[in-house]
Protein backbone atom coordinates (compact mmCIF):
# COMPACT_ATOMS: atom_id res chain seq x y z
CA UNK A 1 0.00 0.00 0.00
CA UNK A 2 2.79 2.44 0.85
CA UNK A 3 4.29 2.08 -2.60
CA UNK A 4 0.94 2.88 -4.22
CA UNK A 5 0.59 5.96 -2.05
CA UNK A 6 4.08 7.05 -3.06
CA UNK A 7 3.29 6.59 -6.74
CA UNK A 8 0.04 8.55 -6.41
CA UNK A 9 1.85 11.32 -4.62
CA UNK A 10 4.52 11.54 -7.31
CA UNK A 11 1.82 11.58 -10.00
CA UNK A 12 -0.01 14.34 -8.19
CA UNK A 13 3.16 16.41 -7.99
CA UNK A 14 3.73 15.93 -11.72
CA UNK A 15 0.16 16.86 -12.64
CA UNK A 16 0.30 19.99 -10.50
CA UNK A 17 3.81 20.82 -11.67
CA UNK A 18 3.01 20.74 -15.38
CA UNK A 19 0.22 23.28 -14.89
CA UNK A 20 2.92 25.93 -14.64
CA UNK A 21 4.43 25.16 -18.04
CA UNK A 22 2.13 27.09 -20.33
CA UNK A 23 2.49 27.49 -24.07
CA UNK A 24 2.23 31.02 -25.43
CA UNK A 25 -1.33 31.60 -26.57
CA UNK A 26 -2.21 32.22 -30.19
CA UNK A 27 -4.16 35.41 -29.58
CA UNK A 28 -4.26 38.73 -31.41
CA UNK A 29 -7.02 41.27 -31.79
CA UNK A 30 -5.23 42.89 -34.69
CA UNK A 31 -6.54 42.35 -38.21
CA UNK A 32 -3.44 42.38 -40.40
CA UNK A 33 -3.38 43.90 -43.88
CA UNK A 34 -2.53 40.40 -45.09
CA UNK A 35 -5.77 39.00 -43.63
CA UNK A 36 -7.82 37.13 -46.21
CA UNK A 37 -10.71 39.56 -45.66
CA UNK A 38 -8.45 42.48 -46.60
CA UNK A 39 -7.27 40.76 -49.76
CA UNK A 40 -10.49 39.34 -51.19
CA UNK A 41 -14.14 40.28 -51.19
CA UNK A 42 -15.90 37.89 -48.91
CA UNK A 43 -19.60 37.85 -48.08
CA UNK A 44 -20.41 37.91 -44.36
CA UNK A 45 -21.93 34.43 -44.55
CA UNK A 46 -18.58 32.98 -45.71
CA UNK A 47 -16.57 34.97 -43.19
CA UNK A 48 -18.84 33.92 -40.32
CA UNK A 49 -18.57 30.26 -41.32
CA UNK A 50 -14.76 30.43 -41.58
CA UNK A 51 -14.53 32.22 -38.24
CA UNK A 52 -16.62 29.66 -36.41
CA UNK A 53 -15.29 26.55 -38.13
CA UNK A 54 -11.72 27.28 -39.19
CA UNK A 55 -10.18 30.34 -37.53
CA UNK A 56 -9.35 28.64 -34.26
CA UNK A 57 -6.66 26.60 -36.03
CA UNK A 58 -6.01 28.63 -39.18
CA UNK A 59 -5.55 32.24 -38.01
CA UNK A 60 -3.58 34.33 -35.54
CA UNK A 61 -6.50 34.44 -33.16
CA UNK A 62 -7.72 31.34 -31.37
CA UNK A 63 -10.71 31.57 -29.06
CA UNK A 64 -9.77 29.19 -26.28
CA UNK A 65 -12.24 26.99 -24.41
CA UNK A 66 -12.01 27.01 -20.60
CA UNK A 67 -10.29 23.61 -20.49
CA UNK A 68 -7.38 25.09 -22.43
CA UNK A 69 -6.24 26.33 -19.03
CA UNK A 70 -5.20 22.81 -18.10
CA UNK A 71 -2.17 20.78 -19.12
CA UNK A 72 -1.61 18.64 -21.07
CA UNK A 73 -4.76 19.72 -22.99
CA UNK A 74 -3.29 23.14 -23.75
CA UNK A 75 -0.16 21.55 -25.24
CA UNK A 76 -2.24 19.36 -27.52
CA UNK A 77 -4.32 22.32 -28.64
CA UNK A 78 -1.20 24.32 -29.20
CA UNK A 79 0.12 21.60 -31.47
CA UNK A 80 -3.06 21.55 -33.53
CA UNK A 81 -2.97 25.31 -33.95
CA UNK A 82 0.69 25.27 -34.90
CA UNK A 83 0.23 22.54 -37.51
CA UNK A 84 -2.95 24.10 -38.86
CA UNK A 85 -1.38 27.55 -39.16
CA UNK A 86 1.75 26.20 -40.84
CA UNK A 87 -0.41 24.75 -43.60
CA UNK A 88 -2.91 27.56 -43.94
CA UNK A 89 -3.11 30.85 -42.09
CA UNK A 90 -6.01 33.11 -43.05
CA UNK A 91 -4.30 36.02 -41.26
CA UNK A 92 -1.33 35.74 -43.66
CA UNK A 93 -3.21 34.73 -46.77
CA UNK A 94 -2.60 38.04 -48.54
CA UNK A 95 1.15 37.57 -48.25
CA UNK A 96 1.08 34.17 -49.98
CA UNK A 97 2.22 33.99 -53.60
CA UNK A 98 -0.60 33.78 -56.12
CA UNK A 99 0.34 30.19 -56.80
CA UNK A 100 0.10 29.30 -53.13
CA UNK A 101 -3.23 31.14 -52.77
CA UNK A 102 -4.63 29.17 -55.70
CA UNK A 103 -3.42 25.87 -54.32
CA UNK A 104 -4.84 26.60 -50.84
CA UNK A 105 -8.22 27.64 -52.29
CA UNK A 106 -8.34 24.39 -54.22
CA UNK A 107 -7.33 22.46 -51.15
CA UNK A 108 -10.05 24.19 -49.08
CA UNK A 109 -12.68 23.03 -51.55
CA UNK A 110 -11.50 19.44 -51.51
CA UNK A 111 -11.04 19.29 -47.72
CA UNK A 112 -14.58 20.58 -47.21
CA UNK A 113 -16.09 18.34 -49.90
CA UNK A 114 -14.44 15.29 -48.34
CA UNK A 115 -15.54 16.32 -44.83
CA UNK A 116 -11.92 16.37 -43.67
CA UNK A 117 -12.10 19.93 -42.36
CA UNK A 118 -12.89 21.07 -39.76
CA UNK A 119 -11.13 18.08 -38.18
CA UNK A 120 -13.72 15.51 -37.09
CA UNK A 121 -11.89 15.11 -33.75
CA UNK A 122 -12.62 18.81 -33.23
CA UNK A 123 -16.28 18.91 -34.24
CA UNK A 124 -16.89 15.99 -31.90
CA UNK A 125 -16.42 18.43 -29.01
CA UNK A 126 -17.29 21.65 -30.82
CA UNK A 127 -20.63 20.86 -32.39
CA UNK A 128 -21.11 24.48 -33.41
CA UNK A 129 -18.01 24.27 -35.62
CA UNK A 130 -19.48 21.56 -37.85
CA UNK A 131 -20.36 23.06 -41.23
CA UNK A 132 -23.97 22.92 -42.39
CA UNK A 133 -24.57 21.94 -46.03
CA UNK A 134 -25.46 25.56 -46.72
CA UNK A 135 -22.21 26.85 -45.21
CA UNK A 136 -20.20 24.26 -47.11
CA UNK A 137 -21.78 25.40 -50.36
CA UNK A 138 -21.21 29.08 -49.68
CA UNK A 139 -17.51 28.56 -48.82
CA UNK A 140 -17.00 26.30 -51.86
CA UNK A 141 -18.77 28.75 -54.20
CA UNK A 142 -16.75 31.61 -52.84
CA UNK A 143 -13.46 29.68 -53.17
CA UNK A 144 -14.26 28.69 -56.77
CA UNK A 145 -15.24 32.22 -57.70
CA UNK A 146 -12.09 33.63 -56.10
CA UNK A 147 -10.00 31.02 -57.93
CA UNK A 148 -11.57 32.08 -61.26
CA UNK A 149 -10.92 35.76 -60.68
CA UNK A 150 -7.32 35.10 -59.55
CA UNK A 151 -6.61 32.93 -62.57
CA UNK A 152 -8.17 35.35 -65.05
CA UNK A 153 -6.19 38.46 -64.06
CA UNK A 154 -2.64 37.13 -64.11
C1 LIG B 1 -8.95 21.77 -34.80
C2 LIG B 1 -8.12 22.47 -35.70
C3 LIG B 1 -8.58 22.70 -37.13
C4 LIG B 1 -9.76 23.24 -37.58
C5 LIG B 1 -10.94 23.72 -36.74
C6 LIG B 1 -9.66 23.30 -39.01
N7 LIG B 1 -8.44 22.82 -39.42
FE8 LIG B 1 -7.74 22.72 -41.32
N9 LIG B 1 -6.05 21.80 -40.66
C10 LIG B 1 -5.74 21.55 -39.33
C11 LIG B 1 -4.48 20.84 -39.26
C12 LIG B 1 -3.81 20.35 -37.98
C13 LIG B 1 -4.04 20.69 -40.60
C14 LIG B 1 -2.80 19.99 -41.06
C15 LIG B 1 -3.19 18.56 -41.32
C16 LIG B 1 -2.10 17.74 -41.87
O17 LIG B 1 -0.95 18.13 -41.87
O18 LIG B 1 -2.48 16.64 -42.32
C19 LIG B 1 -5.05 21.31 -41.45
C20 LIG B 1 -4.97 21.36 -42.83
C21 LIG B 1 -5.87 22.05 -43.64
C22 LIG B 1 -5.75 22.23 -45.06
C23 LIG B 1 -4.65 21.65 -45.92
C24 LIG B 1 -3.69 22.74 -46.28
C25 LIG B 1 -2.71 22.27 -47.31
O26 LIG B 1 -1.52 22.39 -47.08
O27 LIG B 1 -3.15 21.84 -48.37
C28 LIG B 1 -6.81 22.96 -45.48
C29 LIG B 1 -7.12 23.42 -46.90
C30 LIG B 1 -7.62 23.23 -44.31
N31 LIG B 1 -7.03 22.67 -43.21
C32 LIG B 1 -8.78 23.94 -44.34
C33 LIG B 1 -9.63 24.10 -43.26
C34 LIG B 1 -10.92 24.74 -43.34
C35 LIG B 1 -11.51 25.35 -44.61
C36 LIG B 1 -11.45 24.69 -42.09
C37 LIG B 1 -12.81 25.16 -41.67
C38 LIG B 1 -13.92 24.73 -42.45
C39 LIG B 1 -10.49 24.02 -41.22
N40 LIG B 1 -9.39 23.68 -41.98
C41 LIG B 1 -10.65 23.80 -39.86
C42 LIG B 1 -6.48 21.91 -38.24
C43 LIG B 1 -7.76 22.44 -38.28
- How far is ligand 1, taken at its centre, from the CA of residue 70, in Å? 24
Residue 118 Cα: closest atom of ligand 1: 41
Whether ligand 1 lies within 6 angstroms of the CB of 87 is answered as yes
Best residue among 65, 76, 96, 117 to mutate for probing ligand 1, ranked by most atoms within 8 Å of CB: 117
What was the pLDDT predicted at 20? 86
pLDDT digits (tens, 9 = 90+) for 81-123: 999 999 999 999 999 999 999 999 999 999 999 999 999 988 9
Neighbours of 80 (CB within 10 A): 15
Residue 126 Cα: closest atom of ligand 1: 5
Mean pLDDT of all residues in 5-30 = 90
User: How buried is residue 37: exposed, middle or buried, by Cβ count under 10 Å (0-12/13-18/19+)?
Assistant: middle
Q: Which long-range contacts (CB under 8 A, 24 or more apart) does 11-14 make?
A: none
- More confident position, 69 or 100: 100
Least confident of 22-31, 93-102, 134-143: 22-31
Residue 103 Cα: closest atom of ligand 1: 27
Q: Whose CA is nearest to atom 9 of ligand 1?
A: 84
What was the pLDDT predicted at 154? 58
Q: Whose CA is nearest to atom 42 of ligand 1?
A: 84
User: How buried is residue 128: exposed, middle or buried, by Cβ count under 10 Å (0-12/13-18/19+)?
Assistant: exposed
Is 32's pLDDT higher than 90? no
Whether ligand 1 lies within 6 angstroms of the CB of 53 is answered as yes
Whether ligand 1 lies within 6 angstroms of the CB of 85 is answered as no
Amino acid sequence: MRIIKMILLVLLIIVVGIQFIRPVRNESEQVLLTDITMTFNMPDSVLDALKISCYNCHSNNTIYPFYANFQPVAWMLNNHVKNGKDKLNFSDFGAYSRRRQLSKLKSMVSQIQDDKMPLPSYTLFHKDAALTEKNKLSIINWANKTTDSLSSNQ
